[in-house]
Amino acid sequence: MIQIQDTIISDDIFKEHFICDLCKCKGQCCVDGESGAPLEDYEFEEINEILPEIWDDLSPAAQVLIKEQGIAYKDYDGELVTSIIKGRECVFTYFDENGVCKCAIDNAYREGRINIQKPISCHLYPIRLQKYVEFTAVNYHKWSICEPATVLGRQHGLPLYKFLKEPLIRKFGQEWYNEVCEAGKLMEKNEEKS
């Protein structure tokens, strides 16, 4: 574990290699799981505001569910999470012509139709954050459906923290990320010595 600013970072963030391989996993992280994607309160507000812009991108089942219960609910931990269809995919998902599950929010952002990004919990995955009173834990969530990503990451020698550079900077800022990179370099040197 490494402490940087007000975060405690698992060694796995530095040691594990990762590159999403959507051709193989088909975006299953947006389909499988116990509940929807965790949302910050501000994200809940932002998504509700842009909902009309992405409404036609959502499946009929998603539209019905959002009309009935809204874009989010409190899960068994009392955490605000995106609504999910019949215990499966997030309401903001769609499937492309190859059967790959993708995010309607992310797609609209990349097309320039909206100015907000997908929830930070999705953008950071497979990193999961756990907030405590004095710090935030930054952990790697290992899941068998992401095995193709770990294989591809090892082939390219890309550590998880480098693969997730953009969302880590989005969440914690450039200065924090620079410190993470320095810690990563030190870990690499120490491993080479041993």
In order of 61, 63, 121, 138, 150, the CA distances from 10 in angstroms are 38, 38, 17, 6, 17
Domain identity same for 36 and 118: yes
Q: Are residues 2 and 56 in the same domain?
A: no
Q: Residues 112, 54, 26, CA angle at the centre, nearest 5°?
A: 90
Domain count, the chain: 2
93 and 160 within one domain: no
Span 61-109, pLDDT tens digits: 999 999 999 999 998 888 899 999 988 889 999 888 888 889 999 999 9
d(CA 160, CA 164): 6
What is the residue range of 190's domain?
1-18+127-194
Q: What are the pLDDT digits (tens) for 36-74? A: 899 999 999 999 999 999 999 999 999 999 999 999 999
Q: Which two structure tokens, joined as six digits, stand for 175?
A: 């200065």
Residue that finishes a domain, picked among 125, 146, 166: 125
- CA geometry: angle 68, 69, 70, nearest 5 deg: 110
Domain end (from 97, 125, 153): 125
Last residue of a domain, one of 83, 101, 125: 125
Which residue has tokens 């990503």? 149
114 and 53, same domain (yes or no): yes
Please report the pLDDT score of residue 99 as a whole number.
Answer: 87
The mean pLDDT value of the chain amounts to: 91
Give me the helix-helix angle, 174-193 and 165-172, nearest 10°: 130
For residues 90 and 164, state if they share a domain. no
